[in-house]
Structure 1
Amino acid sequence: MTDLDVPRVRDALDRATGHLDAPPDLLDRVRAGGRRRVVRRRTLLGAGLAVAAGGSVAGARLLRNGGPEVMPVSNRLDRPTRGDLAGDEDYLRRVRAAWRQHNGDELRFVGEPHVTWAGRTPAGPVALVAQRLPPRVVSPVGQVEFGLTGFVGTVDGRPAAGVTEQMLTEAANSPAFLAGPRRDVLVVVDDDRPVSYSSAVRWDDQGRAVRTFRPLAFTNGASVSTVPAQSDGLSIGLRSGDEGVGLINMGEVRWTPMPTLVRTLGGASSDWDVVAMDGYEDRYGYPTPPLVREWRIAGASPDGRPFVVQTLVTGRTVRTFAFVTPQPVLIGVAESPKRLEVRLPAGLGWVVAEEGASIAYRVGAGDWIPVTGDAALLPPAATQWRVTRGGARPAVVRLPD
């Protein structure tokens, strides 16, 4: 990971886990784990000083010893069990047993696990469980950790808890879970807040992320719906009001980190960055495994004008942008392009790149002129460029008129 990746990590985390209170070493762990990757093994259910919007938790005043004066109240812990399996004592017993087996003796719980919701789904029975922990104040603004919550799904016909725990604050919204081996059943437990669903993101004519949402209907404490399989990534999006909704088992999606390919092509380069601008990344979706390398190529033209060429990858979809002013220009949207070929605005020439290749160019029928590295700024008059990889036969690419 390069320093240029860090703002993207922070932005991805803000969008995916903005309703969570991250532990202080989270960014260090993201640096170690790779771009956009967050695996939340243990996080705690929290409450703050103020009464939560929508009645999710009650406030707790602080004592001088750092503990709360009263035990915080939470919908997860203090409401009767809801769902069509709320009266199935045998199932609830097996859910609690799976929860205990999963958590072992790692945490010092207070009391017994409480099943917040239990119901049938197309992926088998699913339950949301919460259990108290000794409350403690964990932030200067009075956030209190007091419990753990997570989903118990069905694996091989039996209840099984996975890496699905989540920390919630007074601002947290309804917990969501993707059930089934293909993660194609969406369960959202009602937490007294409206939630809307989007199946996929699309891009407008400026390359900004756009989603169409429909409200979820809650019945007997939850919304259960079949969604497109989320096996290779996460296309869905959820929002509550103007906030994203945390997906409690997002950490189950694994991918190999792919650091951005950063190239500087001489001159005084600019720090223009699409990621730092509103609307270009998917605010209500979830970080998706980049299956194609991203590029960031910055430099200056021979007369000193700065430029940046940048790609953003969502799965295999690549959006390519060019800057010659602080406002980006969308060059195109393509699926898994092998080469990067961008005509810069303002007649600054062509930026071309192919990872690990040797590049040369020519004007008309002139001689081939080699360039240094696997990315280059070619003059506006260039008509062809040549790509050579290892001992393979060179590929000649004609530049559009």
Structure 2
Amino acid sequence: MTDTELKDRLGATVDGIEAPADLVHRVRTGGARRLRRRRFVSLAATTLSLAVLGGAGIVGPELLGRSDQVQPAKSVVTDPYGFLLKGSTRGDLAKDSAYLREVVQIWNKSHATSENADRGIFNDLRGQAKVAWAGNTPGGKAAIVVQQAYLHPHDNIQLDGEGIQTLVGYVGQDAAGKQTLIADSYPAPGSGLDLAFVTGGKTKALVVMDPTGGEFGFSPERIYTAGGSTRKYEPLKFKDGVSVVGLPADVNLDSLRVSALPATTPERRAFEIRDNRPVPTAIPDYRLWKQPEPVYATWPMTAGADDLAKTANDDLMEALDSVTDPHVNGTSMSLWIGYGVTANGSRLLLGEQALDEDPTRVYAVLRSPDGKQTVVQGGVPDAKAPLPVSIKLPDGQGWAVAQMKADLSYRYGDGAWSASRKNAVLVPAGQDAEVRVTLNAKTETVSLR
């Protein structure tokens, strides 16, 4: 989907809402975390409307997919969490009556402080709460508790239809070793089911439910490669309908994913993983240059490349999308793009991309005359360096370099300096190449390797 298409769909869906000028760039894809954990932040709410539109399919036959808007009341025909009501309590703590009572008490006392409290989902509870699973984990005792409720239309609820639905709660150990409600959920349209949660303090565990009997895996981290980013998923083994995995002490919870297998495309979307960290109040922006002049700036790096300028923005995003971890919650795209033509006629694009809460990384994209595309990751840029962006291109095509607002020229050895270019330049391959960077009346020379 191009930016134009995305903006048109956003406009049709959230007409009247003012969003930042760079919103389309900041969030190209949306996961459940932004829908669930950040939906109380006004900026995030706007972001989510866009994210759902741009978005990924949802795994599993019972998972719902709707827009991020209040739906008209209608009869509920599915109960996605209803499978948890069937049968007796499972898990190795299923006979621990004292713990089961504690779990139910925690659930009953949690509604007033729930992040879903102002959605009215607890206003019409039906029957008694039931512990669907309770077990020991490396992160302490944990449990899954469910209760039915009649969901009515509400001014702050995402509702697929009025009627009885099953609510779910996840109880586990907090950092102080106390049992607490980690999170609760209801079947909000467009967000899928919450099938996993993290329990524990210094020692943590991942608990994953299996609603379908299919194959599932977990990925502890995103892997950055020389040409993009990817993931490796380890298969999960289930017992009593749940898989429990010990997590390393330094695990990055923002990067942790659970997905149906094979997890190779956005359509096999990662499930939400809940934890009890505080809800963020802002979406971080780790990009190198957040406010180039103008925004969405295009910087010519060579002569003879004017035809690239019009489509450079979409071309760069589409190229990076094709080599990016498909299970990303949010993508902050480049607000600046360098473009040019290399010695062998390849079309060159230069920009940055930040995934979720990861540091931004810079990328060069080459498309050869025969149509072959090559993406080169230049790593995390150093904003304080005289030349923050410097990427060596393959096949002797030189270096793509950039420094916003700087005058850039190059030479080889003791040769003459080239004519300068503003912001970005392609340095053709050559021995002992160096770049002269003049910014704010200060000049520095950087050797290229």
TM over 0.5: same fold?
Answer: yes
Per-residue deviation, residues 214-246 of structure 1 (Å, max 9, x unmatched)? 321112331111123465453433221342331
- Give the number of equivalent residue pairs: 366
Return the match for 1:190 from 173, 198, 210.
210
Structure 1 Cα separation of the partners of residues 21 and 319 of structure 2: 14
1:132 aligns with 2:152: no
Amino acid at match of 2:352: T
Distance 1:316 1:166, change over 3 A: farther
Structure 1 Cα separation of the partners of residues 73 and 406 of structure 2: 65
Return the match for 1:152 from 155, 171, 174.
171
Structure 2 Cα separation of the partners of residues 263 and 348 of structure 1: 24
Q: Please tell me whether the aligned partners of residues 158 and 189 of structure 2 are also in contact (alpha carbons under 8 angstroms).
A: no
Q: Please tell me whether the aligned partners of residues 350 and 365 of structure 2 are also in contact (alpha carbons under 8 angstroms).
A: yes
1:247 aligns with 2:272: yes
Return the match for 1:123 from 124, 139, 156.
139
Structure 2 Cα separation of the partners of residues 224 and 70 of structure 1: 28
Distance 1:22 1:310, change over 3 A: same
Q: Please tell me whether the aligned partners of residues 200 and 235 of structure 1 are also in contact (alpha carbons under 8 angstroms).
A: yes
1:200 aligns with 2:221: yes
Report the TM-score, using the length of structure 2 for normalisation. Answer: 0.63
**Partner residue, 2:27:** 9
Distance 1:179 1:237, change over 3 A: same
Q: Please tell me whether the aligned partners of residues 199 and 275 of structure 2 are also in contact (alpha carbons under 8 angstroms).
A: no
Q: Please tell me whether the aligned partners of residues 331 and 353 of structure 2 are also in contact (alpha carbons under 8 angstroms).
A: no
> Alpha-carbon deviation of 1:340?
0.8
Per-residue deviation, residues 154-175 of structure 1 (Å, max 9, x unmatched)? 1233221244536367995671
> Alpha-carbon deviation of 1:74?
1.0
Return the match for 2:129 from 113, 118, 138.
113
- Point out the more displaced range, 118-127 or 270-279: 270-279
Q: Please tell me whether the aligned partners of residues 220 and 257 of structure 2 are also in contact (alpha carbons under 8 angstroms).
A: yes
Return the match for 2:239 from 208, 212, 219.
219
Per-residue deviation, residues 292-342 of structure 1 (Å, max 9, x unmatched)? x96741445699996421333453473623244675422235355552123
Amino acid at match of 1:196: G
1:385 aligns with 2:435: yes
Q: Please tell me whether the aligned partners of residues 8 and 275 of structure 1 are also in contact (alpha carbons under 8 angstroms).
A: no
**Partner residue, 1:167:** 187
Amino acid at match of 2:337: I
Q: How does 1:61-140 map to 2 (within 5 A)?
A: 66-68=74-76, 74-104=82-112, 106=118, 107=120, 108-111=123-126, 112-135=128-151
Structure 2 Cα separation of the partners of residues 170 and 78 of structure 1: 25
Distance 1:260 1:302, change over 3 A: same
1:310 aligns with 2:351: yes
Structure 1 Cα separation of the partners of residues 104 and 159 of structure 2: 34
Q: Unmatched 5+ residue regions in structure 1? A: 39-51, 58-63
> Alpha-carbon deviation of 1:272?
0.5
- Point out the more displaced range, 109-118 or 142-151: 142-151
Q: Please tell me whether the aligned partners of residues 28 and 330 of structure 2 are also in contact (alpha carbons under 8 angstroms).
A: no
**Partner residue, 1:30:** 44
Structure 2 Cα separation of the partners of residues 377 and 145 of structure 1: 62
Distance 1:145 1:203, change over 3 A: farther
**Partner residue, 1:297:** 337
